[in-house]
Amino acid sequence: MKRNYFLWGVLLTAAVLVASVVLYPHLPPRVPTHWNLHGQGDGYGAKWWAAFFGPGIMAATLVLFWLLPWLSPRHFEVDTFRSTCLYIMLVLLVLFGYIHALALSAAVARPLDVGRAIVGGVFLFIALLGNVLGKVQRNFYIGVRTPWTLANERVWNATHRFAAKVFVLAGMLGFLLAVAGGWIVVAFIILTAGLLTPVVYSLVYYKRLERRGEI
């Protein structure tokens, strides 16, 4: 199973690299790399950077996830939820490839609201992440890593079960909002609330257990 995830990751990264090489001669000298809330490019970079940064970050992600078992200290191993970890890696690679494809598409002058498309993709990633977040066990690299979740396994498990529901809900709401053409500002409010709520929950739950003398 592990090899299958890495195989798909390598194939996806290679496909993005090949697409970048094919499109490279057609890219302008300056390529948009950042977009404002109105979908307008407000940051530009050299075309070599824009063309190959995406495949580069995808390759680095593959290497990082390959090394995670070795990097993880005892009692915080990622091997205990390895298949979930690699699923997250693959979804993350798809997100990086998707954003890179949008950037290249905008660079060759195809009409597209890149900002809204990126926001929709990010929210869909959050929803997919939430779908498996409850399976993530205590570690230093993936999940809601707060002082309270890392200090106590019971707090970690409760927080991630809660965060899984929040991420799915926030991800789907934000995705539907982006698709429907809603205000991007509202989407960012949903994103911020979705990310911060589990953090607050971990603190409150830890303090509750602490008051009960269960920690």
Residue with more model confidence, 163 or 24: 163
Q: What's the pLDDT at 35?
A: 67
146-174 residue pLDDT tens: 999 999 999 999 999 999 999 999 999 99
Please spell the DSSP secondary structure of the chain, one letter per residue.
-HHHHHHHHHHHHHHHHHHHHHHGGGS-SEEEEEE-TTS-EEEEEEHHHHHHHHHHHHHHHHHHHHHHHHHSPTTS-GGGGHHHHHHHHHHHHHHHHHHHHHHHHHHTT----HHHHHHHHHHHHHHHHHHHHTTPPS-SSSS---HHHHH-HHHHHHHHHHHHHHHHHHHHHHHHHHHHT--HHHHHHHHHHHHHHHHHHHHHHHHHHHHTT--
Q: What does the mean pLDDT of the chain come to? A: 90
- Two structure tokens written together for 90: 């693959």
Are 91 and 129 spatial neighbours (Cβ–Cβ below 8 Å)? yes
Contact 122, 171 (CB under 8 A): no
For the chain, what are the domain ranges?
1-112, 113-215
- Whole-angstrom CA distances from 124 to 128, 129, 174 are 6, 9, 8
Q: Please say if the pLDDT value at position 123 is more than 90.
A: yes
- pLDDT confidence of 192, banded at 50, 70, 90? very high
Give the mean model confidence (pLDDT) for residues 45-58. Answer: 88
The whole-angstrom separation of Cα 173 and Cα 190 is: 8
Would you state the pLDDT for residue 43?
67
Q: What pLDDT does 2 receive?
A: 65
Q: What is the per-residue pLDDT for 159?
A: 98
The better pLDDT of the pair 1, 211 is held by 211
pLDDT in tens, 168-185: 999 999 999 988 877 778
Mean pLDDT in residue range 37-55: 77
